[in-house]
Structure 1
């Protein structure tokens, strides 16, 4: 038996606002926006997709699962994401080669060092 990762689901308060933010942050097109959900997919149609769903409860603690991204230029990418509305967060990581950010609803993600 083989499992294939289809989508990553992000619980949120405002699926449309957060989904549109991530679409701009990643440059991924929106492939579906329905009642209470929005789905993004890479332009080449590959998986996994990102699916944003409304939930009634707010985020209250550090994420148990987060996304890591590898940019061409870490400093420039962090600056761009912060300008879009991300913020730097301290989750106890200390001094590391990656930068921890949070999206507008507080979901943590990391911008790693560029791979050479």
Structure 2
């Protein structure tokens, strides 16, 4: 059982992702998470109504190094989910972790995420 914090925080609004091409990256993640992607007047793209809301924010600097924060996606069928992610444009990130517990992936801009097997 979880309880609401008493610090004034009401909840998680969205996960923010810095990227060079918000509409393109949102389209990739929309295939994995579902939802509706909408561009705003600032050149950012908001993905809402899927598994989690994500805002893709345009930045000029390229990604360097491993993400300090990433999404873990629970799969009903891990092999099928990995294959689908690859077909959508992801690549395996075996240089980050290669083992039996989960599959580390990279989205089209190099942001890491994990596909976890079903809960046992």
Do both share a fold (TM > 0.5)?
yes
**Corresponding residue of 2:43:** 36
After superposition, the C-alpha distances for 1:36-72 in whole angstroms (9 at most, x for unaligned) are: 11111225xx8x5200010000001000000001011
* Residue 106 of structure 1 pairs with residue 97 of structure 2: no
After superposition, the C-alpha distances for 1:5-38 in whole angstroms (9 at most, x for unaligned) are: 11110000101100111111212222x3113111
Any runs of at least 4 consecutive aligned residues in structure 1 with deviations exceeding 6 A, and if so which?
A: none
TM-score for the superposition, normalised by structure 1: 0.88
> Could you list the runs of 5+ residues in structure 2 that have no partner in the other structure?
1-6
> Could you list the runs of 5+ residues in structure 1 that have no partner in the other structure?
none
Superposition map of 1:63-102 within 5 A: 63-102=67-106
Counterpart contact for 1:62–1:91, Cα < 8 Å: no
TM-score for the superposition, normalised by structure 2: 0.85
Across the two proteins, how many residue pairs are aligned to each other?
112
Structure 1 residue 91 displacement after superposition: 4.2
CA distance in 2, matches of 1:33, 1:18: 12
- Report the secondary structure of 1:63's partner residue: coil
* Residue 23 of structure 1 pairs with residue 23 of structure 2: no
Larger radius of gyration: 2
Calculate the aligned-residue CA RMSD, in Å: 1.6
CA distance in 1, matches of 2:27, 2:81: 18
